[in-house]
Structure 1
């Protein structure tokens, strides 16, 4: 026992001596780390879906160090049945990102990694995503990858809008990819106190219907048709005042009615008949007329007859009534058709041979098909730059229409003087690609705003712009200075008002 004790004493002495002889130089210091100051930013952030989330936290980086950044948005599943998802939305120090996720509560983690030390600093925010597209203008544009949709809101469009907002890339954020094919049209369908509230988007090979409040996909492609063998080639779409959805697809008319819900509002097969429709529709028609189109093949206006699902001729001009033209025999190529003053339809035509231009005024809205629907015809041939006009809009409050060339917009007074004057010119280097009045339907709560703003889209070869122009709704005079100018990530092909509706 004594021997064991001596062994322990000896080992202790050796250990103490070893520590005494260790002459190493040890210095213990704190490693500098990145700090993130969010004291003035708040813990809960609110953003409208498709709106931009902008954050600029104060970041303190140790002298001589470099950092890299990562913003990660993740959902907060309410149950284990919902999969957890996350996505990197930016790698910049300052966040400026469009949020396309559906409504709900999310987490946003900001990670700063010190590349010198490898140490990460992080902070987490709560993000509440809500939807409220409200009144505004939809912008459909073409990119190198496909097509997409922006949404514009300004105080000029509704008294309830207090600031200018530009929501970008709605389609790709919702759908997960851009629109395939060549974009053609975008339109809003809304009926007060009925389950009609959606946005329809069409391209050369795509047709989709989206929720008008949050742009969630409702259905697309063959799911919008009752026949699964339909070849998808959309060219024009309108929701008609007769509660019909009208679609021109491959030159033929397809119609859909909505009775109780969106699920049943599907397009049937093409209406029968020997015709090929121009890509234009008018929404102001009498309930006894249903849908009106222009048969480009045979040079005539024709209408939809629902009981036989056919396209038929209009009635012959009434006897002993002086009609300016015969709807059954126009014999020209249509360049435009849309609504204007007195809810009449205004159509611009070009002769099949030569460059003569014509404006036809027709009343499809207040009378049934009795052979007396023609109102007037005006020759536009000698108006300035009429042969170069590419885009048209008919005013609702004055006897004028706008026509636009590549760079100029003219105010054409058709009933008083049959003359036109230059109303607006876009900046040099830009080319006009679309013009549209702000004209939501229904116009509940915004009747004092419609037709008071004209939107003009341009393209300079690399980027698109949308000009918001104030105007006098009765004279058509356009203010020289735009109310707002928006940059768009592509070439705009169509513009359309979106309404909020009531009920």
Structure 2
């Protein structure tokens, strides 16, 4: 009986095994049509997929769709674009006018395979910005000396100079002085805006700080901003923004002031017995050390003045005044041209003087106790031209002097001041150079032609190859100063 039962069990097992073997390969497996979305910004996270769009401009995105089974055939697919959670397109391509609001707006693209219901998505941001958020900025004055700012946007599709109108500000005032600025960064090197400082002598607010995202003023400085009270008149002659701190340096009535957080500090050494008067271009811009050291050229007394804060915690509050530093006598009888903090070994400032047709460069040396100890002659050389000098400045990043005269810019190492031709404007360029700036791989040059209705012309070069990329003749009022607020190359 047991053998018989065992026999039946073996038969059943064999039958089951045989049926299972016959079923192999009879199941209906369906391959998935994996969708790939290409032709758009690639990044591992949506915060790295940001499309910059000027307000009222149009964004056009044309993704490339492919399927692992269907290839380029999209007949079995449906599409949907959402911007700010609102469906704006049921087609593959996005055509969107950014006229709703400023700011970073979420966008999503969905591809649905109708045969399986599988959805593949792509997420990004449309960063709707003021068209002047990035660009080339020019501070100008008309014949009545009224100040204006023009911008050539680097994100708008329309490549033309336009006058910037400031919300909440009816007029910038008269007799403009300078425009300068720094960059503020967000999540990446391409996510930035410009903080722009504008100086105007005769204005309700002689110094205004602008946020370029919507070009709205974020700080005003006027006579009531002075912390000392009394009968203070704010009519600056020089305005310079610090490269590293939210600080502005101003010369008012010849005296040096620090502007910070909407307040104008007391003048440095206001009771100086020599009654110093800071010369034009006479602030040695500190490049990060301004909170500790400052140097100016005293035009009235014909000498360099050096100040420090005694290495205390009182940033931008100078307590020591050094005015008789050994080597100062080398500058006697010479005409001051410009000065700057220098990006050369140790803490130092650098100064450029002229006598007749000869140029002289001096360096200020500091001791181990961080006090100024002496001036050295770095180098001397001949004037590169007989034309009048229109602008001189020292570039701390490259440690070079630059000088403009006529239609030519000259360049020299800080060591020898042997100026050589750097760039020559085209022969048909109207007027002479008044200002130029070098930043982020671009050289921007401005000329004024007093015979024209629009005197100002702008030339933009690739500063690495020295190739002229753009020439805009007679496009703005008389140029006073300029600033570059563009992406790095």
- Shorter-chain TM-score category? 0.5 to 0.7
In the alignment, what sits opposite 1:453? 442
Assess, with a 3 A threshold, how the Cα gap between structure 1 residues 331 and 102 changes in structure 2: closer, same or farther. farther
Note the C-alpha offset of 1:230: 2.3
1:254 aligns with 2:230: no
Note the C-alpha offset of 1:151: 2.8
In the alignment, what sits opposite 1:203? 200
SS in 2 for 1:297: coil
In the alignment, what sits opposite 1:471? 463
SS in 2 for 1:204: strand
1:313 to 294, 302, 322: 322
Any unmatched runs of 5+ in structure 2? 1-51, 59-99, 104-126, 187-192
In the alignment, what sits opposite 1:7? none
Note the C-alpha offset of 1:144: 2.6
Assess, with a 3 A threshold, how the Cα gap between structure 1 residues 423 and 217 changes in structure 2: closer, same or farther. closer
Q: TM-score, normalised by structure 1?
A: 0.57
CA RMSD of aligned residues (A): 4.2
Return the alpha-carbon distance in structure 1 between the equivalents of residues 267 and 370 of structure 2. Answer: 22
Aligned residues: 343
Task: For 1:135-146, list aligned pairs within 5 A.
Answer: 135-145=134-144, 146=146
In the alignment, what sits opposite 1:33? none
Contact 1:103 1:131 in 2 (8 A): yes
Note the C-alpha offset of 1:181: 2.0
Contact 1:103 1:129 in 2 (8 A): yes
Note the C-alpha offset of 1:387: 6.0
Return the alpha-carbon distance in structure 2 between the equivalents of residues 397 and 336 of structure 1. Answer: 16
Deviations 1:405-461 (A, max 9, x none): 1222223355368252363134353221111111xxxxxxxxxxx3x3211101222
Deviations 1:171-228 (A, max 9, x none): x4435544322111112255669xx974221122231232243221232423543355
Note the C-alpha offset of 1:316: 3.5
In the alignment, what sits opposite 2:478? 491
In the alignment, what sits opposite 1:269? 266
Note the C-alpha offset of 1:373: 6.5
Deviations 1:313-371 (A, max 9, x none): 26744xxxxxxx439966644322345653864433234xx55433334568x986433
In the alignment, what sits opposite 1:350? 354
Return the alpha-carbon distance in structure 2 between the equivalents of residues 368 and 225 of structure 1. Answer: 33
In the alignment, what sits opposite 2:94? none
SS in 1 for 2:460: strand
Note the C-alpha offset of 1:254: 0.9
Return the alpha-carbon distance in structure 1 between the equivalents of residues 325 and 462 of structure 2. Answer: 42
Contact 1:234 1:249 in 2 (8 A): yes
Return the alpha-carbon distance in structure 2 between the equivalents of residues 210 and 223 of structure 1. Answer: 19
Note the C-alpha offset of 1:378: 2.6
1:48 to 30, 50, 54: 54
Deviations 1:79-119 (A, max 9, x none): xxxxxxxxxxxxxxxxxxxxxx9959xxxxxxxxxxxxxxx
Assess, with a 3 A threshold, how the Cα gap between structure 1 residues 398 and 239 changes in structure 2: closer, same or farther. closer
Contact 1:401 1:413 in 2 (8 A): yes
SS in 2 for 1:418: coil
In the alignment, what sits opposite 2:233? 231
Return the alpha-carbon distance in structure 2 between the equivalents of residues 330 and 212 of structure 1. Answer: 45
SS in 2 for 1:429: coil
Any unmatched runs of 5+ in structure 1? 1-45, 54-100, 105-127, 155-160, 258-263, 318-324, 439-449, 473-477
Assess, with a 3 A threshold, how the Cα gap between structure 1 residues 285 and 498 changes in structure 2: closer, same or farther. same
Q: TM-score, normalised by structure 2?
A: 0.58
Return the alpha-carbon distance in structure 1 between the equivalents of residues 478 and 359 of structure 2. Answer: 27
Return the alpha-carbon distance in structure 1 between the equivalents of residues 485 and 139 of structure 2. Answer: 13
Contact 2:133 2:214 in 1 (8 A): no
Assess, with a 3 A threshold, how the Cα gap between structure 1 residues 190 and 130 changes in structure 2: closer, same or farther. closer
SS in 2 for 1:279: strand
